[in-house]
């Protein structure tokens, strides 16, 4: 097998600063946009970030249509609802205002209205879908995040729950990347503490996973440069962004969660989300995310406190960041033997003095540091606390195995037996 010798750096343009949301109307007008589709969720539709966007569009003379039915943790059905709405409302550009659910929904709307496929799964990652390449350029997409976590404003990935599988999957293409991410710290003021905790822990795992992922040189060489995957494996450029994101999380996450009035901490967590997004958007994530997809999709009755309830969010809900971080300590204890140096460097970036630590302890020390953040931020104490038991493990494994896009980037291979052991270990975190 001929192995990969190259990697590609791709990221959205980013604009950061308090109040930059007010500039989006001018951006669209300068592009010659006449009609914008504004996408958000029903909770945000009544809040300041969306009001600011609509006022900016009106001031710039840009007409708009508002879609406010985004589902928190979207599904194929909620994607299809948004796509059907968009097809009835001609638009030249999209403005997504919200968290990762909203920005990912907007990416799907952009793709499926620009190049409608014969079947919904045609663009979905294999082996669940066909993974067909995006045929050409998409319309301008401006992403305005209101949470600090997913980094979706920087990535070409759109994630959703496939209802019939009860597991998450997604679509990945560099063409899905937003045209511009507007990072406005004013937009994260209203985040409830649990939302800030979950989204912040998502940043934490993004950065560790991308830094510890299989090196890009371990992948097969692609037939053509255009089919080189968005998730390429760890590489020298993604490493820079991932490690800096970890340093920022270590310094600011507790402050941002425990004191929403700490403007400096909230602003830096918003930046950290994008830093980690650039890292994992090019390197990829691995087992904690792959295992999280069935954890989110198979949830029975757990509903995270602190998440507003509406007609499209009133459903069992494990926030994405929690579903990821609950698996992380077990995973990094398992993967550390494949590259203890990288796991130790991640611990060091998180503020731990490792000068006297042995490399064979890297996994344990990293897991302990992650667990410290979980305890401090009051996350559920393992999968059992969100309603899972050992009897659910076969289904959880079944939902993880098809997630090749991420699981194959693990630095240490994990088959059904290993995944079963990891889920068992993740039942109780401390």
Domain assignment of residue 77, yes or no: yes
Residue that finishes a domain, picked among 188, 214, 245: 188
Same domain, residue pair 210 and 181:
no
Q: What is the pLDDT of residue 311?
A: 47
Residue that finishes a domain, picked among 188, 219, 235: 188
Domain assignment of residue 2, yes or no: no
CATH of the domain at 213: 1.20.1090.10
What's the whole-number average pLDDT of the chain?
A: 95
| Burial call 119-154: b when 16+ CB within 10 Å, e when fewer | ebbebbbeebbebbebeeebbbbbbbbbbbbbbbbb
Domain assignment of residue 62, yes or no: yes
In the predicted model, what is the mean pLDDT of residues 221-247?
A: 94
Strand partners, 96: 39, 143
In the predicted model, what is the mean pLDDT of residues 232-250?
A: 97
Q: What is the pLDDT of residue 309?
A: 59
Same domain, residue pair 327 and 275:
yes
Same domain, residue pair 212 and 117:
no
pLDDT at 312 over 80: no
In the predicted model, what is the mean pLDDT of residues 163-181?
A: 92
Q: What is the pLDDT of residue 279?
A: 96
Domain assignment of residue 86, yes or no: yes
Q: Could you give the CA distance from residue 63 to residue 57 in angstroms, rounded to a whole number?
A: 7
Q: Could you give the CA distance from residue 391 to residue 237 in angstroms, rounded to a whole number?
A: 42
Q: Could you give the CA distance from residue 80 to residue 70 in angstroms, rounded to a whole number?
A: 11
Same domain, residue pair 247 and 374:
yes
Domain assignment of residue 266, yes or no: yes
Q: What is the pLDDT of residue 310?
A: 52
Q: What is the three-class DSSP state of 201?
A: helix
Confidence of residue 282 (pLDDT cuts 50, 70, 90): very high
Q: Could you give the CA distance from residue 202 to residue 171 in angstroms, rounded to a whole number?
A: 19
Domain assignment of residue 430, yes or no: no
| DSSP symbols for 23-63 | GHHHHHHHTT--EEEEE--TTGGGSHHHHHHHHHHHHTT-E
Residue that finishes a domain, picked among 155, 170, 188: 188
pLDDT at 39 over 70: yes
In the predicted model, what is the mean pLDDT of residues 1-25?
A: 94
Same domain, residue pair 246 and 174:
no
Confidence of residue 314 (pLDDT cuts 50, 70, 90): low
Same domain, residue pair 151 and 211:
no
pTM (2 decimals)?
Answer: 0.94
Strand partners, 36: 64, 93
pLDDT at 322 over 50: yes
Same domain, residue pair 17 and 103:
yes
Q: What is the pLDDT of residue 208?
A: 98
pLDDT at 313 over 60: no
Domain assignment of residue 216, yes or no: yes
Same domain, residue pair 135 and 254:
no
Same domain, residue pair 234 and 354:
yes
Same domain, residue pair 294 and 405:
yes
Q: Helix 287-297 and helix 328-335: axis angle, to 10°? A: 150
Strand partners, 159: 170
Same domain, residue pair 168 and 245:
no
184 is in which domain, residue-wise? 13-188
Domain assignment of residue 401, yes or no: yes
CATH of the domain at 88: 3.40.50.1970
Same domain, residue pair 135 and 236:
no
The count of domains in the chain is 2
- Contact assessment for residue 155 and residue 134, using Cβ atoms and an 8 Å cutoff: no
């Amino acid at each position: 097998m001929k192995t990969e010798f190259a990697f590609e750096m791709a990221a959205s343009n980013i604009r950061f600063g308090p109040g930059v949301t007010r500039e989006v109307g001018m951006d669209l007008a300068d592009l010659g946009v006449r009609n914008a589709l504004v996408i958000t969720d029903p909770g945000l539709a009544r809040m300041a970030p969306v009001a600011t966007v609509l006022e900016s569009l009106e001031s710039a003379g840009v007409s708009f249509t508002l879609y406010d039915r985004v589902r928190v943790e979207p599904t194929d059905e909620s994607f299809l609802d948004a796509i059907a709405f968009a097809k009835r409302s001609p638009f030249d550009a999209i403005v997504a205002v919200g968290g990762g659910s909203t920005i990912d929904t907007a990416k799907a709307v952009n793709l499926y209205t620009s190049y409608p496929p014969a079947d919904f799964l045609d663009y979905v990652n294999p082996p669940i879908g066909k993974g067909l390449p995006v045929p050409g350029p998409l319309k301008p997409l401006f992403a305005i995040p209101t949470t600090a976590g997913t980094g979706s404003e920087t990535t070409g990935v759109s994630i959703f729950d496939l209802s019939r599988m009860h597991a998450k999957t997604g679509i990945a293409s560099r063409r899905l990347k937003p045209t511009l991410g507007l990072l406005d710290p004013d937009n994260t003021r209203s985040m409830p503490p649990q939302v800030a905790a979950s989204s912040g822990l998502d940043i934490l795992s993004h950065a560790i996973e991308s830094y510890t992922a299989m090196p890009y040189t371990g992948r097969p060489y692609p037939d053509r440069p255009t089919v080189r995957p968005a998730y390429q494996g760890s590489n020298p450029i993604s490493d820079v962004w991932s490690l800096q994101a970890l340093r920022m999380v270590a310094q600011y996450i507790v402050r941002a969660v425990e004191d929403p009035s700490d403007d400096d901490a909230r602003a830096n967590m918003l930046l950290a989300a994008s830093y980690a997004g650039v890292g994992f958007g090019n390197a990829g994530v691995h087992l904690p995310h792959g295992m999280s997809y069935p954890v989110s999709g198979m949830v029975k009755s757990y509903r995270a406190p602190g998440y507003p309830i509406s007609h499209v969010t009133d459903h069992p809900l494990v926030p994405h960041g929690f579903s990821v971080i609950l698996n992380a300590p077990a995973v990094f204890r398992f993967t550390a033997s494949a590259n203890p140096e990288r796991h130790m460097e991640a611990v060091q970036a998180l503020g731990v003095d490792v000068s006297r630590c042995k490399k064979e302890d890297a996994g344990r020390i990293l897991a302990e540091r992650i667990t410290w953040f979980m305890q401090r931020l009051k996350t559920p104490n393992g999968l059992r606390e969100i309603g899972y038991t050992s009897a659910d493990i076969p289904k959880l494994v079944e939902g993880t195995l098809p997630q090749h896009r991420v699981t194959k980037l693990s630095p240490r291979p994990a088959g059904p037996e290993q995944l079963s052991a990891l889920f068992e270990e993740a039942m109780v975190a401390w």
